[in-house]
Chains A and B, each alone.
Chain A
Amino acid sequence: MPSLFEQIQAGKLWDFHGGVHPPTRKAQTAQKPIAVLPLPERLYIAVRQHIGVAGHIMVSPGQRVLKGQPLTSADNSMAVPVHAPTSGTIEAIGDHTSAHPSALPENTITLLPDGLDEWRDRHPLNLATTDNLSLLERIQESGIAGMGGAGFPSHLKAGLTQPVDYLIINAVECEPYISADDALMQEEAITIVKGIDILCKLLNPKAVLIGIEDDKPVASAALQAACSQREHYYVREVPTKYPSGGEKQLIQLLTNKEVPAGRRPIDIGIVMLNVGTAFAIAQAVLDDQPLLSRIITVTGETLRQPQNVQALIGTPVSDLLTFCGYQGPNGGKIIMGGPMMGFTLPDLSVPVTKTTNCILAPSLQELPEPGPELDCIRCSACADACPASLLPQQLLWYSKAKDPAKLDEYNLFDCIECGACAYVCPSEIPLVQYYRVAKADIREQQREAVKAEQAKARFEARNARLEQEKRERMARNQQLAQAREQAQQTSSNSTAVADALARIKAKQAEQNAAPADRVQILAEREAKKQQARAYQAAKAADMPTTEPDKEPAAQQDASREQAPADKPATAKSAAVAAAIARAKAKKAAQAQADMQETMVEAEQTKQPEPIDQSTPQAETDPRKAAIAAAVARAKAKKQADSEKS
């Protein structure tokens, strides 16, 4: 039994389950030379065109940029920048219809070309004298993301440190109509192989397998010629079948290996890149030309000259169609991508991105409208077509029944949405659409579950904190009470006799000054009532806010008490003054306590500055301190709120 590597060397190919044979319709574009699209009036460069995060925008409206100048920064390993495809002026930065099935607006830089096409300084690298890190840096800074459609940042794949057995270059291009890679291979096979050389230097694979469908004989011959000097590069023609260009399917075709569910190809020693990506890498490293343009197949029966064009990233679809002789909508669709996995565009202002490989403008006869959805007759044509060996009709039933457990059991998330099942369905059931909805529902549920979990954790933490504060408060009160009791005890023990005397005296005095005292008691009562009213008013004023704020209440209290205190002293004056003094002392104590609390909270919200300013004031004037504390607290709260939202 020869080893796997020997079998691969001998040219053995395997097969994957299912697959369909839709009419390829590539002849109308594949044999023509690649046309270069004239400079469009405006370029709409979406800030994020890959899987990952967008880099920070480094330009501003009105700024002039040179061709190849980065517009965003690669400040994060998951970020790849976008570049100015030509020299010109940044007109605007804002939302523009995205090249996404949802067509939702997306942050986009609008560039007004000046027609000069003036380059920035370029620094080509010499492969022999450059270390791997610089190469990876160059790949990232050149904005290269998987050009086969997924848009995965290429530097992450090229920078993998696990041992690599096989580097697979995906030149299959199995989707009908599309011949962009085919045309690229026919014209640029040498550069592509240079790109593969760079990848080999980075990944050091045992062998390079270039998978190409057998309906591209010219491209295949060109690649074979270009690879003739390379010992471990194998060009493998795979039978034309959709979706043999799927990552997992091609791996199975070329190596008979399966990527375990939920794992990546590198886990079985395989790295796969698109042939267009290899070309872009060669350009980036050897010419210092970042990813500014790509080959796009513009085809369909509504076009007079269907062909492959080289278009700048950000060119609106309308420019491409006009260039190829678009003859009006005919009530049809415009599809970005191929007929199997592409998505329809709502209008023609959508710009092309790094992953756009085809614009399809079919006539109604060419891709007719689907008929009405009929009942599933359980013919299992879908299961026979499924390249992942799923059971699409069972998935359909459980999707309709919204049964996530069963969907999981039947491996819904292994569906690659290739569309083979819906393609063969005699009842014209849009199966893939059902699965997309089911997947989105399940993801949403999972997100909700995570959110609920977080909310629960937050709520419990808050309860625990409140409980802790309550306990601390009680402990403090108890301590104070004990201290008071002790003080009373010590004073009463030492002067028991004097006390008794004093009591008698006091009693006498009380009898003597009864009317005056009564007045005093009344005054005290009045003061207390006022205090209570003030407190009620403050409470009422606080009602609308969610958290009862003590500081404003204290302030109001203080101000209300101040008014009677300013009046000329009468018989009540002593009592009033005493009450005020008590109240003030209490306020001060409370303010102090609140201050501490505020500081703690402010520290929690990482906004210590306003507190620091108010701390010295607190020592000088308790009322001012209280107000300052209130302000600080409000500020901190606002800050916290804004951070939360």
Chain B
Amino acid sequence: MSFKIASSPHNRVSRSTAQIMLLVVMACIPGIVLQALLFGYGVLVQLILAIITAWLAEALVMRLRNKPVLLRLQDQSALLTGVLLAIAIPPYAPWWLIVIGTFFAIVIVKQLYGGLGNNLFNPAMAAYVMLLIAFPLQMTQWLPSISLQPESLTPLDAVCAVFSQYSCSGFSISQLQSGIDGVSMATPLDTLRTDLAAGLTLTESLQKPVFYGIAGTGWLWVNLAYLAGGLMLIKLGVIGWRIPVAVLGSLFLISLLSWLAAADTNPSPLFQLFSGATMLAAFFIATDPVSASTTNNGRLFYGALIGFMIFIIRKYGGYPDGVAFAILLANMSVPLIDYYTRPRTYGHKARRAEK
């Protein structure tokens, strides 16, 4: 009779890395659905392209690194990276944009740093920033919400637009981007920044149709959907509350202060929270465990830094949304944050008192 020899503990909690990744992807679904309904089906085409590219890229690198391909694909981290990038880029961006971006995210940002768990930067956000810098035009071609679009696009149109930059009926993306009045429309954040820079007051700028509602037409609902997904993740214990709360809290606080100080040139805190990619960043991207801080206090610092940087970049930066840059900057600070926020070990004095 022989028995298996193993090291304790002999029982384990059943949630695996793959399950965590899948839960995060599933929590994205409400947001994706609303995005598709409010901004067109392009996002679904981008998702398919991104996921396929992510899997292929991951498999390629695993092959090159002589690691078991299927086993590593099963951790679903590549899937999540693809999904997050596809959500983040404009829905009707050309097909090669998402392919290059996803490939960059998986191969350069993740695998060249040592693969899952070893990358310093969030792959989706690093790829987003790369695309933004390399292809600024394509990356800012956000169509207004469907209610403002002159032509309504069918799913087939979405495929045509992504692959040829023309809808099946022959409209170009820039034509589609124009509002009913024929004026080209950017995202609310972009519009606001341009207007404020042009000397308009907030109230004047907010008269534009793109700003219907609290945070711009369509955007509020998408953000609310991501908020709901994020809250579900916290409830399921997939992510902790610290990072989202710190991101939103710091963004709210600083935009509240600035709004109170100069309401004419600063949008309201609610506009900041429910516009752009705020909720997606707070719940889905900043909480990426690999590139986030790992200590409890560090997570608060890390989240607060992201919220602060989002505000600064939105207000003073040259890009429409500051989320990606804010996250990359915070990613860089993680080793430092982790080092200085180590918890006090049981039975030891506080670290500062020791020194």
Contact = CB atoms under 8 A, between A and B. Distances in A.
Interface of A: 16-17, 20, 22-23, 176, 248, 252, 258-263, 329, 331-335, 337, 339-348, 360, 362, 367, 369-372, 374-380, 383-384, 387-391, 393-394, 410-411, 414, 417, 419-420, 422-428, 430, 432-433, 436
B11 A340 contact: yes
Contact of B289 (A258, A378, A414): A378
A157 B13 CA distance: 37
Contacts of A432: 7-9
9 contacts: A16-B346, A258-B347, A261-B347, A340-B9, A340-B11, A377-B17, A378-B117, A388-B346, A430-B7
> Looking at B115, B118, B342, which has the most chain A CB atoms within 10 Å of its CB?
B342
Contacts of A393: 294
A390 B13 contact: no
A261 B346 CA distance: 7
A436 B292 CA distance: 28
Nearest to A416: B346
A381 to B, nearest CB: 8
Contact of B15 (A17, A426, A430): A426
Contacts of A260: 347-348
A370 B6 CA distance: 9
A333 B6 contact: yes
Chain B, interface residues (CB within 8 Å), range: 35 or more
Contacts of B9: 339-341, 419-420, 422-423, 432
Q: What does DSSP make chain A's interface, helix, strand, loop or mixed? A: loop
Nearest to B239: A379
Contacts of A417: 8
B207 interface: no
Contacts of A176: 11
Contacts of A348: 1
Contacts of B338: 394
A369 B1 CA distance: 18
A251 B75 CA distance: 40
Contact of B11 (A17, A261, A367, A376): A367
B261 interface: no
Contacts of B117: 375-378, 427
B316 interface: no
Interface in B1-53: 1-13, 15-17, 19-20
Given A20-B13, A388-B346, A331 B4 contact: yes
A23 B290 CA distance: 29
A22 B11 CA distance: 8
B202 to A, nearest CB: 41
B16 A340 contact: no
B170 interface: no
A379 B13 contact: no
Given A333-B3, A334-B3, A391-B295, 11 more contacts: A16-B346, A23-B11, A329-B3, A332-B4, A333-B6, A377-B117, A384-B296, A391-B294, A411-B345, A427-B16, A430-B7
B12 A428 contact: yes
B71 A372 contact: yes
Contacts of B13: 20, 22, 423-424
Interface in B318-350: 338, 342-348
B77 interface: yes
Interface string B284-313: 000001101011100000000000000000
Contact of B12 (A262, A332, A334, A423): A423
Contacts of A425: 12
A374 B17 contact: yes
> Looking at B8, B15, B16, B296, which has the most chain A CB atoms within 10 Å of its CB?
B8
B100 interface: no
A341 B118 CA distance: 30
Contacts of B77: 377
A378 B294 contact: yes
A17 B296 CA distance: 12
B84 to A, nearest CB: 15
B7 A433 contact: yes
Nearest to B11: A339
Contacts, number: 157
A430 B342 CA distance: 22
B60 interface: no
Nearest to B292: A378
B279 to A, nearest CB: 21
Contact of B17 (A23, A367, A391, A426): A426
Interface string B113-144: 00111100000000000000000000000000
Contacts of A433: 7
Contacts of A261: 345-348
Nearest to B21: A377
A17 B346 contact: yes
Contacts of B240: 384
A332 B3 contact: yes
A426 B8 contact: no
A423 B7 CA distance: 12
Nearest to B114: A375
A414 B348 contact: yes
A411 B117 CA distance: 23
A346 B295 contact: no
Contacts of B292: 378
Contacts of B289: 377-380
B255 to A, nearest CB: 29
A248 B347 CA distance: 9
A372 to B, nearest CB: 7
Nearest to B13: A424
A372 B18 CA distance: 13
Given A376-B117, A390-B345, A427-B17, A341 B8 contact: yes
> Looking at B4, B10, B11, B19, which has the most chain A CB atoms within 10 Å of its CB?
B10
Contact of A414 (B5, B17, B71, B347): B347
A239 to B, nearest CB: 18
> Looking at B3, B20, B338, which has the most chain A CB atoms within 10 Å of its CB?
B3
A258 B294 contact: no
B4 A259 contact: no
A468 to B, nearest CB: 47
A133 B258 CA distance: 76
Interface string B57-86: 000000000000001000101000000000
Contacts of A371: 16
A370 B289 CA distance: 23
Contacts of A423: 9, 11-13
Contacts of B16: 371, 426-428
Contact of A411 (B118, B290, B348): B348
Contacts of A17: 343, 346
A436 B290 CA distance: 25
> Looking at B17, B342, B346, which has the most chain A CB atoms within 10 Å of its CB?
B346
A417 B240 CA distance: 25
A426 B345 contact: no
Contacts of A333: 3-6, 10
Contacts of A369: 4, 6
B345 A367 contact: no
Contact of A259 (B8, B342, B347): B347
B335 to A, nearest CB: 11
A390 B19 CA distance: 26
B349 to A, nearest CB: 8
A375 B11 contact: no
A391 B3 contact: no
B8 A342 contact: yes
Contact of B346 (A343, A372, A389, A410): A389
B14 to A, nearest CB: 9
Nearest to B14: A368
Contacts of B347: 248, 258-263, 388, 414
A252 B346 CA distance: 10
Contacts of A248: 346-347
A362 B9 CA distance: 13
